[in-house]
Structure 1
Amino acid sequence: MELLTPLETLCRLILRARELEAQVPAQDPDEDADNVDDFDDEGGSQALSVLEDELNSGVEEEIRATLDDLGDDQLRETLALAWVGRGTYDVSEWDDAFAEANDVDPESAIDELMDMPLLAGYLDAGLAAFDYSCDGVGQVD
C-alpha cells in the first residue's frame, strides 16, 4: 500500500498522541480527603507530583489541527490505519477499512481518532502492518 498521508505527518501525530496519552491530570488533594494514603503526618499532600503533568490542551489542539489540515482521503486513511492497528481490520481487509472510513464524515473521523485512548499505539501498529516505521523520521543525521 502506498500512503496518501506523508509518513512524517503520521509520525508527528504518533509522537504528539504519545505526549497526550502520557499526561496525567493532577489530583485535587481536597477531592478525596478520606484517603489517608495521600497525605503525610501533617495532613499535607504527598502525591507523586513528579509523575503528574498538568493537562496541556495545546497538545490536544495541535493533534486536532493536524487532523483537520489533512485532506479527506488522508484523514480517512489515518482512521483506517488506526482501525488496522487496533485489530478491527486485518491488513488483507484494507480496502474494506478504507471504504468504511470513507463513510465517516471528516468531523466524526477526527472525533473518533481523538477519542481513541491508545491512538499512538494504534497508528504505529497500523503503519507497521504495512511495513512502515517512524524510526529515523524527523531526525537529523
Structure 2
Amino acid sequence: MLEVTTDKVAHVILRARELDVKTAAWDDDADSDDATSDAILEDRPDDATRQELREFLDSLNEDEQASLIALAWIGRGTYAPGELDEAIATAKTEHGNNPVDYLFGLPLLPDYLEDALDQLGYSVEEAEEGIVRRT
C-alpha cells in the first residue's frame, strides 16, 4: 500500500521538474543573489527550489520517503506495480539512512514518479492540478 499521498508525490514531481530545466552555472563568479533572468535558470547549490525540495523531502517520515523511492523504482521498471510493498520494504532497508540524497541522485525522478503513479492507477494530472491551485 502506498504510504505517501498523491499530493505529496505531485509536489515532488513539480519541484523536481523545475530543477530539471535548470542549466549548469555558467558564471561561477556571479553573485548567487543576482536576480537576472539568466541567473534564475542556473542550477546552483543554494538554489531556492533545490533547498525547498530538500526541506520538503526531509520533512517526510520514513514511510513516505521509502514510498517515493519505491515509486521511482516502479517507474523505472525495477519493480512491477504489484510489488509495491516489497519495493517499500527494500527502500527502507537499503536507503533508510540517506533517502533524500538517493532521491536527489535519480536523474529522471519526476518521470519515474509520474510513470509509477500512472501504473498504479492514480491520476497524476489531478494531483498536480491540486498542487498548482494551492500554490
Unaligned runs of 5+ in 2: 28-36
Kindly indicate whether the alpha-carbon contact (under 8 Å) linking 2:13 and 2:109 is maintained by their aligned counterparts in 1.
yes
Deviations 1:17-51 (A, max 9, x none): 000011012435xxxxxxxxxxxxxxxxxxxx97x
Q: CA RMSD in A?
A: 2.1
How many residues of Structure 1 are paired with residues of Structure 2 in the alignment?
Answer: 118
Structure-1 residue corresponding to 2:16: 17
Identity %: 36
- Between the aligned partners of 2:57 and 2:96, the Cα distance in structure 1 is 9
Q: Which has the higher helix share?
A: 2
Deviations 1:72-96 (A, max 9, x none): 1111111100110111111122222
Aligned AA (1:19): E
Aligned AA (2:64): Q
The offset of 1:109, in angstroms, is 1.4
TM-score, L = length of structure 1: 0.74
TM-score, L = length of structure 2: 0.77
Unaligned runs of 5+ in 1: 29-48
Kindly indicate whether the alpha-carbon contact (under 8 Å) linking 2:95 and 2:102 is maintained by their aligned counterparts in 1.
no
Q: Which aligned runs of 4 or more in structure 1 are off by greater than 6 angstroms?
A: none
Kindly indicate whether the alpha-carbon contact (under 8 Å) linking 1:124 and 1:133 is maintained by their aligned counterparts in 2.
no
